[in-house]
């Protein structure tokens, strides 16, 4: 695999990044098998591994640490911080207090002295971004992390973070990790162009759209909801839901296109984000060795303009057929009190 430079970091990474969300309790519970998957990926030329502290409550990081013994120097290792790691206040978020503790926990589980890319997993409206950037800058200076980035941030918050970093003399987010697939192209509107203008590396997640682009779920067939992603979020696979129908309709068109291109549907799906000039690496998240091997078969697939034009006709640029799982929603939309004046407030401002 020909390596690409990750934003302005100078770090060279493979166009495929091995995602490990499915290692541990939520996916593959066999640690030895997961280690073999990591080794097989490295042997095939992948040098980029992505995990997070919250994946199976730290179990994924522990597995990755086992897998990288003796091979750590050859791997670009990425993990994340933000989501709660236990009960009670102060065990999640983007505060300096939590980040300083969380990075030590990740280093211990990963059994390493440094993390190459430390990512803020989601925005945190309770913490000033300057607080977050200051803490992360200190970690770089201490040698505990080499660079830091963000994941699933809206474009306006990426821009704000860069302005704050410049104004305060802090290091800035070097990467963004957004969801991006044939069925979820919303990031093409703002996030990817902003990342390009700011010189950020981009590693995208969910290229298979939570399994809908694997070919396992097809229109007119009974959907198997007994295993895999449907067990994590059954509502996303409800055959009666209009969004499910829309996804399945698009999938049928992509199956036809894949046949014309001469590849499988998953190969088409993973080749698509790599065609965007803003994208550095695509995260693949196999649960089994078979899934890894099937994915790597498509490493040579390159989509030409004719294929990309056909894709645009099926799902127009910048369009989401469905809202991707796990995307951050601003508090202004999720918290009614932030968009409704109370009677007292109206009286006070009358």
> Active site includes 322?
no
Cα-flanking dihedrals φ and ψ of residue 193, to 5°?
A: -60, -40
Pick from 112, 113, 103: which is nearest to 52 by CA? 103
- Pairing status of strand 12-13 against strand 4-5: antiparallel
Contact 343, 350 (CB under 8 A): no
Q: Regarding beta strands 115-120 and 12-13, do their DSSP bridges make them parallel or antiparallel, or are they unpaired?
A: unpaired
R_g (Cα) of the chain, nearest Å: 20
- Kindly name the residue from 16, 55, 180, 217 that is annotated as catalytic: 55
- Structure tokens belonging to residue 280: 């550095």
Structural tokens at position 236: 């996303």
The residue with tokens 């990425």 is 78
Q: Alpha-carbon torsion 336, 342, 348, 350, what sign?
A: positive
**Beta bridge partners of residue 79, listed in sequence order:** 118
Q: Mind telling me the catalytic residues?
A: 55
């Amino acid at each position: 695999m020909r390596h690409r430079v990750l934003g302005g970091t100078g770090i060279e990474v493979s166009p495929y990044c091995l995602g490990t969300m499915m290692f541990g309790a939520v996916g593959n519970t066999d640690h030895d098998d997961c280690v073999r998957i990591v080794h097989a990926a490295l042997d095939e030329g992948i040098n980029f591994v992505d995990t997070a502290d919250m994946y199976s409550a730290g179990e994924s990081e522990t597995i990755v640490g086992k897998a990288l013994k003796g091979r750590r120097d050859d791997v670009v290792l990425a993990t994340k911080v933000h989501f709660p790691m236990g009960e009670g206040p102060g065990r999640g978020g983007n505060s300096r207090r939590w980040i300083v503790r969380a990075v030590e926990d990740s280093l211990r589980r990963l059994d390493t002295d440094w993390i190459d890319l430390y990512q803020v997993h989601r925005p945190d409206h309770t913490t000033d971004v300057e607080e977050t950037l200051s803490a992360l800058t200190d970690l770089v200076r201490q040698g505990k992390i080499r660079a830091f980035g963000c994941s699933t941030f809206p474009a306006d918050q990426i821009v704000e973070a860069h302005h704050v970093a410049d104004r305060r003399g802090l290091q800035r987010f070097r990467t963004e990790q957004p969801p991006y697939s044939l069925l979820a192209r919303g990031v093409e509107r703002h996030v990817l162009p902003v990342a390009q203008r700011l010189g950020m590396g981009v590693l995208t997640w969910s290229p298979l759209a939570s399994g809908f682009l694997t070919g396992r779920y097809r229109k007119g067939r009974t959907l198997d909801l007994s295993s895999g992603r449907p067990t994590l979020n059954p509502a996303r696979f409800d055959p009666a839901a209009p969004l499910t129908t829309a996804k399945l309709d698009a999938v049928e068109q992509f199956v036809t296109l894949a046949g014309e291109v001469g590849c499988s549907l998953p190969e088409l799906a993973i080749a698509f984000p790599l065609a965007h000039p803003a994208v550095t690496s695509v995260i693949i998240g196999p649960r089994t060795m078979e899934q890894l091997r099937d994915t790597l078969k498509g490493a040579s697939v390159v989509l030409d303009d004719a294929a990309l034009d056909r894709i645009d006709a099926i799902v127009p640029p910048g369009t989401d057929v469905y809202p991707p799982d796990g995307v951050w929603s601003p508090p202004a939309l999720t918290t009614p009190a932030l968009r409704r004046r109370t009677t007292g407030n109206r009286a006070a401002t009358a």
